[in-house]
Amino acid sequence: MSDYLDETAIRQKVLPRTKAVAAQNARDSKMILAVLCCIDKVLERLDRQLIEEFVLPLLLELRTTDADIMCKVVCKYILVMALYLFRYSACF
């Protein structure tokens, strides 16, 4: 599905909706997993600005007491930071 979406659709529809779902269902483990799955699907197509504006703050705002979910959030955060640092290292 993410192959058919352009950057505008991701920026205007997918990421704001993902952020809203995460905010509305902050304690629901299934919804947090869905948010992480959505981020995972579009992560490769995001540019630096979208990572800074949406993904990093969203990952930092996710709160859960489930250890498995927290591990997935931390792993996703590490992946995003690695992508962010290595893909855009020429920009620094």
Question: Quick one: pLDDT at residue 88?
Answer: 58
Residue 11 has pLDDT above 80, yes or no: yes
pLDDT of residue 68: 82
pLDDT digits (tens, 9 = 90+) for 22-79: 899 888 888 888 988 888 888 888 888 888 888 888 888 887 778 888 888 888 888 8
What is the structure's pLDDT at 64?
77
Task: Give the integer Cα–Cα distance in Å for 84 and 81.
Answer: 5
Specify the higher pLDDT residue, 88 or 86: 86
The token pair at 84 is 């962010």
**DSSP string for the chain:** -GGG--HHHIIIIIHHHHHHHHHHTTT-HHHHHHHHHHHHHHGGG--HHHIIIIIHHHHHH-----HHHHHHHHHHHHHHHHHHHHHTGGG-
pLDDT at 92: 44
